[in-house]
Structure 1
Amino acid sequence: MTPMQLDLNLLAALDALLEEGSVAGAADRLHVTAPAMSRSLGRIRRTTGDQILVRTGRTMTPTPYAIAVRAQVHALLQQVQGVLAPSRELDLPALERTFTLRWHDSLVALGGPALLAAVREQAPGVRLRFIAESSTDNPGLRRGEVDLEANANPPTAPDVRGERVAETDQVVVVRRGHPLGDGREALTAERYAAADHLAVSRRGNLTGGIDDVLAGLGLARRVVATAPTEATALEFVRGSDLVVTAPESTTRRPVADLGLLALALPLDLRPAPVFLSWHQRYDTDRAHAWLRELARTALSSPH
């Protein structure tokens, strides 16, 4: 084995170990035995002078050094693969890869099942890791910890790409029998503002764009509580006179399942956008481009 072959093998092993967080997972990913991957980890530790992964109970935890170099290792491996096989076609049936997707919870419910079904049909060796959004700004895309984001926010970092793939109108969700939905009076901005509201915010924000629109009309609403997800918010609505305002496309199915009512929002509010975001390192990654196309279809198609 030449030094170059050894270096490339270690780079691939290190990338798999950092991606999977375990020797067994990395071995499965690279189609080698667990003992062989353990030996590779030993050589990586001797080469770098760092433990890379350390055991904490029944799991393995990456060291600070491993976390710091994770994105660089992945980018280097992608570059090497592109140099050695620049014209290689994407072989989906043989593709073995794990993608990490940080999507807003309502978008996981909306497009996640369709995306997973398409992935399993075309590339059964690909695995998807849907993870929850953070309550604080998280540079996961830039660090290589997240492959694809989906939420209502366009990217602000210059090295992060963003594509608006869908948009949806906001609706007012109430329980059946709620005074706003009894049909006796039209739902006006004044009646809407006078109700008690529950806001959906993973950060616990009590105000938002709706309040700016209401302020322009000389109105204000009272938000009595916040909920981190739409699913949780709708459970509050089921047994109370609280009002939740949420995107129509992501609440259509749970509203029907829970026997709630969705009413037209009596405000001139711009539709809520849906953005897909990814780091520029994946612009020419064929597998990533394939996943982006499937995600675009899953999120933009009627459900």
Structure 2
Amino acid sequence: MQLDLNLLTALDALLEEESVAGAAARLHVTAPAMSRSLGRIRRTTGDQILVRTGRTMTPTPYAIAVREQVHELLHQVQGVLAPSRELDLATLERTFTLRWHDSLLSLSGPALLSAVRAQAPGVRLRFVAETATDTPGLRRGEVDLEANANPVSAPDIRAEKVGESPLVIAVREGHPLTRVKTVTAKRYAAAGHISVSRRGNLSNAIDDALAQLGLTRTVVATAPTEAAALDFVRGCDLVVCLPEATLRSAVAGSGLAVLPVPLDLPSAPIHLSWHQRYDTDQAHTWLRDLARAALTTRTPPQPNPEPADGTAT
């Protein structure tokens, strides 16, 4: 039997999208053409691959079992048919889509863009916002590189920890906590809090740490981004706990004060994530190197000095 590599490409798209229309759009072919490819795949494998369940299509057990193998086979074939060439950054024309946490984008995005423009003026970067739920953008090829605290957990996704940042407290200048000599856990818990959560979660590891001390706090609001949380903090007596790296670029001249966290909390990690299909892609490897450098470049933190009077509440 003669193998048609186009069927392997079609099968990969069908297994990723779990939709004939979605696979057709991904490969820039018509839906009827993709439907015919699915028919050929079914005849070749002797399996239905996708079966309709209501308005959606569900992969068969066989399809689920071979999904990762199909990914890897396609990746190997593409590597054989597209032999490695020396990367010419001066003539490289490519658009990369990056989904970065908003604070990392503010902190390191400008440095990355500057480096890209200096080395490869034909490359464009599309920074897109994080979503409220985890999406398979890396697997589908919709996102080339992610940077956040929580990497996608999947066997075909690469995740590299490139750094971490300790957690600190941000309050407005003049907040009661700025007038005490020591921010104790009890004083911290008694303050009004705002939490950062894409999903709107009202509790997190901070509440667990307080519970171990027999303390609870009141989270009066959640914000979807750290920038939004800091806007709330500037305007009222609320407390937000954020990575120090986030606040480094936000504090200067902003009416905010930075205080230590009176809890034993782990530092916030910084991860780069990408799909394994790009492991040997020279242009993607170059971009990862630049992103890693931008994310790990640090300037010394400048915490606010303690009050001289040592007033306690």
Unaligned runs of 5+ in 2: 10-27, 36-55, 57-70, 300-313
Report the Cα distance in structure 1 between the residues aligned to 2:171 and 2:242, rounded to whole angstroms: 11
Corresponding position: 1:157 with 2:154? yes
Report the Cα distance in structure 2 between the residues aligned to 1:88 and 1:230, rounded to whole angstroms: 42
5 Å-filtered alignment, 1:160-239, equals 160-182=157-179, 184-239=180-235
Partner AA of 2:228 in structure 1: T
CA deviations on 1:91-113 (whole Å, 9 max, x unpaired) are: 11111111111111111101100
Report the Cα distance in structure 2 between the residues aligned to 1:241 and 1:90, rounded to whole angstroms: 53
Partner residue, 2:278: 282
2:111 to 88, 111, 114: 114
- Structure 1 or 2: more helix by fraction: 1
**What percent of counterpart residues are identical?**
66
**SS of structure 2 residue aligned to 1:255:** coil
**SS of structure 2 residue aligned to 1:166:** strand
CA deviations on 1:245-266 (whole Å, 9 max, x unpaired) are: 1111012111224121010111
Report the Cα distance in structure 1 between the residues aligned to 2:293 and 2:87, rounded to whole angstroms: 19
Corresponding position: 1:261 with 2:246? no
Report the Cα distance in structure 1 between the residues aligned to 2:31 and 2:150, rounded to whole angstroms: 43
**SS of structure 2 residue aligned to 1:254:** coil
Corresponding position: 1:92 with 2:89? yes
RMSD: 2.9
Report the Cα distance in structure 2 between the residues aligned to 1:49 and 1:284, rounded to whole angstroms: 29
Partner AA of 1:122 in structure 2: Q
TM-score normalised by the chain length of structure 1: 0.74
**SS of structure 1 residue aligned to 2:121:** coil
Report the Cα distance in structure 2 between the residues aligned to 1:99 and 1:79, rounded to whole angstroms: 22
**SS of structure 1 residue aligned to 2:252:** helix
- How many aligned residue pairs are there? 247
Evaluate the alpha carbon distance shift between residue 75 and residue 143 of structure 1 in structure 2; reply closer, same or farther with a 3 A threshold: farther
Report the Cα distance in structure 2 between the residues aligned to 1:125 and 1:76, rounded to whole angstroms: 31
Partner residue, 1:144: 141
Report the Cα distance in structure 2 between the residues aligned to 1:95 and 1:76, rounded to whole angstroms: 27
5 Å-filtered alignment, 1:128-139, equals 128-139=125-136
Partner residue, 2:33: 48
TM-aligned CA deviation for residue 81 of structure 1: 6.0
Unaligned runs of 5+ in 1: 1-6, 12-40, 51-63, 65-73
CA deviations on 1:40-83 (whole Å, 9 max, x unpaired) are: x8xx5599379xxxxxxxxxxxxx9xxxxxxxxx9999766633
